[in-house]
A and B are shown apart, each in its own frame.
Chain A
Amino acid sequence: MLTREPLLHSATVTRQIDYGHGYYVLEFDCPDLAASIGVGQFVNLRVRNDYSPLLRRPFSVFDVLIDRANNPSGISLLYHIVGAGTGLMAKMKEGEKVSLNGPLGKPFPWPTDDKAAIYMVGGGIGTAPFLLQAKRWMKEAPGREYVFIAGGRSDHDLKYMTHFSPLTKQGLNLMLTTEDGSVGFRGRVTDPLRGELQARAKKKLTSAVYCCGPTPMMAAVSALCEEFDVTCMASLESVMACGYGVCNGCVCAIDDATKEKGWRYAKTCIEGTCFDARKIQWKKISV
């Protein structure tokens, strides 16, 4: 029965990078975990080795770090201070041991259409899963077109975008949007996305969209994709207690014709975090 790799890892903090305004990237040494991470998977981090705060915090894996011999040596997490847990994370120092539960969730699925351009759309720290996705997928399927649209309220929210720079040199089309126009397009992620989808539809080229970020943003991206009949996968950041399928907390309402009511609750942590956006009942999952 026990065919899975061990999931609880004692990771050592190797670096904390401060991007200002509460944004950080935290790097860990954890070779076993690093070797088993799939695109879009997450880890559940225990902030302290006691019970205050009680619950682990879920984070998308931002990057898989590689050592000199080109082997996976660790992972990094992108986070923003929003409460007590992330506040304590910001105080973590090199050498500290942290318990990580993972990899959790299912890897992002490739689109069935192998010619579709890959659009990655992230808002705030919802940009986190797309670094690994772009890195891995551009290597695996270099023939495709890759576009990453990252949005924030202002340039403060996007300082860590430097991590994507090497990928832009390899052909990733990176577009930034800010609500105040301080960097990139003034507006929201849906503004350039609309232009892109329109242009591709005109040329009869197909696209597939992956989005992650605040629920209203993902609902808007999903609606836009529906307008252009484009596949959209949404990676949800549901409130969860356990992250591994036992608490039944992180449910997402999903259309399911086989059910009496025409829908059911799916556990985001084990069935997701990525769902076909067209099947998500957005009104039922807003916090």
Chain B
Amino acid sequence: MSIDLSVNVGSLALHNPLMTASGCSGYGKELAAYDDLSWLSAIVGKSISREPRLGNPYPRTCETPSGMINAIGLPNEGWESYTRNTLPLMRELVRGKPTKIVLNIVGHDLDEYTWVAERANDESDIAAVELNLSCPNVAGGLQFSTTADGCEKLVKAVRKVLKLPLIAKLSPNVTSVADIARAAEAAGADSLSLINTVLGMNVDWRKRKALVANGMGGLSGPAIKPIALRCVYEACKAVKIPVIGIGGICTADDVLDFMVCGASAVQLGTVLFVEPDAPQRIARDLKERMREAKVEKLSSLIGTLRAREGA
């Protein structure tokens, strides 16, 4: 039985559903020392802003039960250095491979987002732009994701200038994911990716101190998978555009859980910190699971969750 892992996220044709989540694989270089990047259909780079950013003070991470909290604060070299130094390296890394480059962008305000988005049009080899409108670790970073209005304004402004496929990355830290998802769709997003990290906190009561310098941070890892599944399921019911599932995915079964809930593809995040070779393992296991379940085409599983009888 030949197994077909290919999926489409709108106009993006992917040879398998596995992308990296922004902020969890740098720009691909370090990961390439562990595994063939061909096991990934896309590298989503760490968020790039117009100006360089230093990021948050140390400590920036702490472990939690089956998860971790980060308050990294989006450090990055800024657009100019990115296009001069990092993007050329990424092009080298994926040359001859089916792996695509997705640019994740972030800004302090509307202008900074559109400034970067406009310039992304002129760079070759960027397959899509993902809007980080939901990083909890930056002042003002949540404004675009917590209200449908804010989200719609930003996506609309970026849509106006961007010619590439546009992915809006949504936050789970909202009252109604469905409302925000609909707003992003209405504003012209080609697809959605969710969830970003869940706002959380961890402390050492003996020291009377929070464990990350920022106080609060974003919870990630297997601990957030049920929240992510729920959000993806709700978003998929609310919109017609494709959805990329993110949140605590560690195994092939996790991937399939997201896909039956409606995700067309997934992003791997925290698992890469523990297992830099996870893409290969998950891709192989996906084929195995599908063989066992006698499913030939992975895409045939998307959104096939059934209502429970009697419910």
Contact = CB atoms under 8 A, between A and B. Distances in A.
A14 interface: no
Contacts of A51: 66, 221-222, 250, 271, 274
B24 interface: yes
Contacts of B23: 247-248
A248 B272 CA distance: 13
B153 to A, nearest CB: 29
Given A2-B32, A101-B276, A264-B54, A247 B61 contact: yes
Given A7-B34, A54-B67, A253 B274 contact: no
Given A51-B66, A54-B67, A241-B68, A265 B274 contact: no
Nearest to A285: B58
B165 to A, nearest CB: 25
A56 B26 contact: no
Q: Label chain B's interface by main secondary structure.
A: loop
Interface residues of A, number: 36
Contacts of B92: 1
Nearest to A46: B274
Given A51-B222, A249-B60, A242 B66 contact: no
B65 interface: yes
Given A51-B222, A240-B61, A264-B54, A245 B30 contact: yes
Given A2-B33, A101-B276, A246-B30, A241 B58 contact: no
Interface string A221-262: 000000000000000001111111111111111000000010
B32 A239 contact: no
A4 interface: yes
Interface string A139-180: 000000000000000000000000000000000000000000
Contacts of A17: none
Given A2-B32, A51-B66, A54-B67, A246 B270 contact: no
A245 B211 CA distance: 21
Interface in B57-87: 57-63, 65-68, 70, 72, 75
A251 B55 contact: yes
Contact of B60 (A7, A246, A248, A261): A248
Contacts of A264: 54
A146 to B, nearest CB: 32
A35 interface: no
B31 interface: yes
Contacts of B273: 55-56, 241-243, 246-247
B93 interface: yes
Interface in B4-26: 23-26
B277 interface: yes
A240 B66 CA distance: 16
B55 A265 contact: yes
Contacts of B270: 54, 241
Interface residues of B, number: 39
B51 to A, nearest CB: 11
Interface in A35-71: 46, 51-56
- Max chain A C-beta neighbours (<10 A), residue from B36, B270, B273: B273
A284 interface: yes
A1 B36 CA distance: 10
Contacts of B31: 246
Contact of B66 (A8, A52, A265): A52
A287 interface: yes
A56 B66 contact: no
Contacts of A284: 57-58
Contact of A248 (B32, B72, B277): B72
A246 B33 CA distance: 12
A1 B277 contact: no
A8 B277 contact: yes
- Max chain B C-beta neighbours (<10 A), residue from A55, A241, A244: A241
Contacts of A241: 61, 68, 70, 270, 273
B52 to A, nearest CB: 9
A115 B195 CA distance: 57
Contacts of B60: 239, 248-251
A52 B248 CA distance: 12
B26 A246 contact: yes
A240 B70 CA distance: 10
A240 B33 CA distance: 19
B44 to A, nearest CB: 12
B272 A265 contact: no
User: Which 6 pairs, one residue from A and one from B, show the smallest C-beta to C-beta distance?
Assistant: A249-B61, A242-B273, A246-B26, A245-B30, A241-B61, A249-B60
23 contacts: A46-B274, A51-B250, A56-B274, A239-B61, A239-B62, A242-B273, A244-B34, A245-B26, A245-B30, A246-B25, A246-B31, A247-B23, A247-B24, A247-B70, A247-B72, A247-B273, A248-B46, A248-B55, A248-B75, A251-B60, A261-B54, A284-B58, A287-B59
Interface of A: 1-2, 4, 7-8, 46, 51-56, 101, 238-253, 261, 264-265, 270, 284-285, 287
Interface of B: 23-26, 30-34, 36, 46, 54-55, 57-63, 65-68, 70, 72, 75, 92-93, 221-222, 250, 270-274, 276-277
Given A101-B276, A239-B59, A241-B70, 16 more contacts: A2-B36, A51-B222, A51-B250, A51-B274, A53-B63, A54-B63, A54-B68, A54-B221, A54-B222, A54-B274, A55-B273, A242-B272, A246-B24, A246-B25, A246-B26, A284-B58
